[in-house]
Structure 1
Amino acid sequence: MNNLAIAGDTKVTLHFSLKFEDGSVVDSTFDKEPATFTIGDGSLLDGFERKLFGLKAGEKDSFIVSPEDGFGQSNPNNVQRFSRGDFSADLELAEGLVISFADASQSELPGVVQSVDGDRVMVDFNHPLAGRNILFDVEIINVGGLDS
């Protein structure tokens, strides 16, 4: 185990969990293989990476990541109204259903059905974690330079 602290351009192996404030787990590696990534490679949002700076192999910590540092605030403009006829007749629309849409560039864009009221279907295209404080628990396994 080395004594290198996490900083820009370091390679990090860690266990992590993301939880809501009520304790429900969104994602975790504690029950599987740890994650390995390089700071700044886009694997983690900047707000999560900054919380790791200064930690060393063997250390554990917990942080609260605010929406501004995480997945952003929920944007009401990202909730769109559709007609029931815009969907396949055999699709059972229900609150919480995730549907894949194509955006203007034909990339896949997931939307979550927020409500179904008669012919009106409201779909939320915000990131599912937008507007939420996220509890970020980490255990640093290894920190290395880019040549390690």
Structure 2
Amino acid sequence: MSKVKNNDTVKVHYTGKLTSGEVFDSSKDREPLEITVGQGQLIPGFENGLIDMEVNEKKTLNIPSSEAYGDVRNELVQDVPKSQLPEEIKPEVGMPLVSKTPQGQEIQLVVTEVKDDSITVDANHPLAGKDLVFDIELVEIK
């Protein structure tokens, strides 16, 4: 039976959880995820965990934050004067925002604090700094 190697395109079902057991994503009620292994499409710990799997094999991957979304980077947390926000935006904690760099790249932000004259936004991935657990099942090797 063939095993997954780099550059194979595979289909996989997964359930992603925090170490507390809280599920943050799952493919259970939809089509399996299709990726080409080794292309950097997913976090390194997930892609590396697929190597040498066989079709119908199931396993649990315990992925440290360093092989997932990395550590929380303090430089990605900033205060922004409310005067720089569009007038129609009424910021609330947890609200997602999008900012654009001078080069036109979009950056996803989350409001973490609302003050009188400014807001604090965080551009870290929501799962940064967290160890993750994935239950995976290899469905197909193309």
TM-score normalised by structure 2 residue count: 0.93
TM-superposition CA deviations, 1:113-134 (whole Å, max 9, x none)? 0101211211001111111111
Pick the aligned partner of 2:98 from 77, 97, 100.
Answer: 100
The within-5 A match list for 1:61-80 is 61-80=59-78
Task: Give unmatched runs, 5+ long, in structure 1.
Answer: none
Pick the aligned partner of 1:116 from 99, 103, 114.
Answer: 114
Pick the aligned partner of 1:36 from 34, 37, 60.
Answer: 34
Task: Give unmatched runs, 5+ long, in structure 2.
Answer: none
Q: Deviation above 6 Å: which 4+ runs of structure 1?
A: none
Distance 1:56 1:86 in 2: 53
Alignment correspondent of 1:81: 79
Q: Please provide the CA RMSD for this pair.
A: 1.3
| Higher mean C-alpha deviation, range 38-47 or range 59-68 | 38-47
How far residue 7 of structure 1 moved from its aligned partner, in angstroms, is 1.5
Pick the aligned partner of 1:8 from 6, 9, 13.
Answer: 6
How many residue pairs are counted as aligned between the two chains?
142
TM-superposition CA deviations, 1:51-96 (whole Å, max 9, x none)? 1211111111111111100111010010011111111233111111
Q: Give the secondary structure class of the aligned counterpart of 1:130.
A: coil
